[in-house]
Every structure is written in structure tokens, then in C-alpha cells.
Structure 1
């Protein structure tokens, strides 16, 4: 078992490569999730601003009259 983990003397290169691979794999899985959440939040905010703008155009304020 020790020989397997030592990787024939190349363990200092092999195990970090596995670590970097799994970090990149995790990032590749998480980044689209966070990007989707951010885009959906921005879209909801944009729709809310448009709705508010339409509401103001339909019912002008009495203070400006």
C-alpha cells in the first residue's frame, strides 16, 4: 500500500495533480450554478424595474399636477 501512495517516487507530482484536477472539477460544477443564480436575480430586478416604470407611466403622481 505504501508503494501505491509513493507512486514510485513521483507522489510529489501525482497527488497534487489529482488535487488540482478535483478542484477544477468542483469549480466547473459550481460556477454555472452561481452564474445562473446571479443571472436570475438580475433578471428579476430588471423585470421589477420595468414593472415599476410601467406603473408610474399608467398612474402619474398627484404631486406633479
Structure 2
């Protein structure tokens, strides 16, 4: 489709409201999905680091417990 001027392009042959609304909803939805993905990734990384630290503390406590039993 070819337009005579930029205002004709913006007007979209009388369907501008529907066309630009659909573009707006699409881009807003994509932005929300991207933001949710970023937030979820950050949350998961923090959870993994926290779990690794927890397991390291448990392992260290068990090793210290075994060492304490050996000295008795």
C-alpha cells in the first residue's frame, strides 16, 4: 500500500484508531513480557546463589561435626 503523504500514512485510510491501537497493545504486551522475563531471571539467579550458599554452609557444618567427633 502506498500513501500520498505522511498524514495519510498516520490516518491509515480511516482505520488509524484500530491500526495504531493494535500496534500499541502489541508493543506494550511485548514490553511487559520482556520485563517479566528479566525480573524472573534475576529472581532465579538469586535463588540459585542462595541455595548454593545454604548447601555450602550445611557441608561445612557437617565436616566440622565429623572433625569434632574425631577429637573426642
TM-score by length of 1: 0.71
Which whole-Å deviations, capped at 9, do the CAs of 1:11-65 have from their partners, x for residues lacking one? Answer: 111101111121223334443333222212111100100110111111138xxxx
**Is 1:45 aligned with 2:44?**
no
Task: Name the structure, 1 or 2, with higher relative contact order (CA <8 Å, separation 6+).
Answer: 1
Q: Which runs of 5+ in 2 are unaligned?
A: 1-5
Q: Distance in 2 between matches of 1:59 and 1:49?
A: 15
- Report how many residues are paired: 61
Q: Mapping of 1:7-18 within 5 angstroms?
A: 7-18=12-23
Tell me the residue number matched to 2:62. Answer: 57
RMSD over aligned CA atoms reads 2.0
TM-score by length of 2: 0.66
Tell me the residue number matched to 2:3. Answer: none
